[in-house]
Amino acid sequence: MNLHRPIAPRSAGSTGSLVLLVLLLASSAASAHSEQNAGGGFVAGFEHPITGLDHVVAMVAVGLWGAFLGSRATWLLPVVFPMVMAVGGALGVAGVPIPKEVVEICIAASAIVLGIMVAGKLKPPIWVAAIIVGFFAIFHGHAHGSELPNNANPLAYSAGFVIATGLLHLCGIAFGLLAKWPWGQWAVRSGGVIVASIGIYYLAEALKPEKEDAAAPRQAAMLESNNSLSPG
């Protein structure tokens, strides 16, 4: 019985098509970038997700969780996240207001929730996992879109951060595939603990009161008082 033979070529073909699509998007986005200032476009968009640790760990965790869930989730979650994130990015580019504090809290919470899912080997129905991932993707996308550099092509910039996100998902999937072995499961679950811990740190930072802003009026008052006391 060769029940698995028809699946292998189809899987390889799907993977090849996915890689080809990514390359085509990258090349078209890079062409758009060549017409922009150096500070914007595709490169700026590509760099944005990989220069923030909170973004990186959440992106990797999506791939980790998808690999842990197995079956269709391995690829479904890393597809849902960039698609919904692109919507969030469009909202950010369009200037649709979401308080910065809310965005930062939700980004940190995404790392915590996804990390806990991986560390705890939690396997909800695939549609529940997709909703969780899609919800957090909105805020990651909005954070990217709202920081669109001046004079940057929005499409090239968006393509950059979507492709970078996809590559981070692939890193998570590659690591998550270690869960096929008993020792690998512990390694992957340990990765989930690390992701959640980083998320807790960023959540604490996001919830921390703005001490500098609160101290600024006092400092200004003290400076004014000193100036008034100084001779002539």
Domain-located, residue 73: yes
pLDDT (tens digit per residue) in 127-136: 999 999 999 9
**Separation of alpha carbons 112 and 100, rounded Å:** 19
The answer on pLDDT for 214 being more than 80 is no
Domain-located, residue 192: yes
Give pLDDT, residue 51. 86
Range of the domain at 152: 40-208
Domain-located, residue 17: no
Domain-located, residue 215: no
**Separation of alpha carbons 103 and 144, rounded Å:** 11
Cα Dmax for the chain: 99
pLDDT (tens digit per residue) in 54-69: 899 999 999 999 888 8
The answer on pLDDT for 191 being more than 70 is yes
**Total domains in the fold of the chain:** 1
Domain-located, residue 4: no
More confident residue, 204 or 33: 204
The pLDDT confidence band at residue 192, using thresholds 50, 70 and 90, is: very high
The answer on pLDDT for 142 being more than 90 is yes
Domain-located, residue 19: no
Say if residues 64 and 118 touch (Cβ distance below 8 Å): yes
Alpha-carbon separation of residue 193 from 26, 57, 186 (angstroms): 33, 11, 10
Residue 185 burial (10 A CB sphere; 0-12, 13-18, 19+): middle
Domain-located, residue 164: yes
Place of tokens 């915590």: 112
Give pLDDT, residue 224. 58
Domain-located, residue 204: yes
Give pLDDT, residue 112. 96
> What is the pLDDT of the chain when averaged over all its residues?
78
Over range 175-181, report the average pLDDT.
Answer: 85
**Separation of alpha carbons 105 and 204, rounded Å:** 9
Give pLDDT, residue 14. 41
The answer on pLDDT for 16 being more than 60 is no
39 φ, ψ (degrees, to nearest 5): -80, -5
The answer on pLDDT for 47 being more than 70 is yes
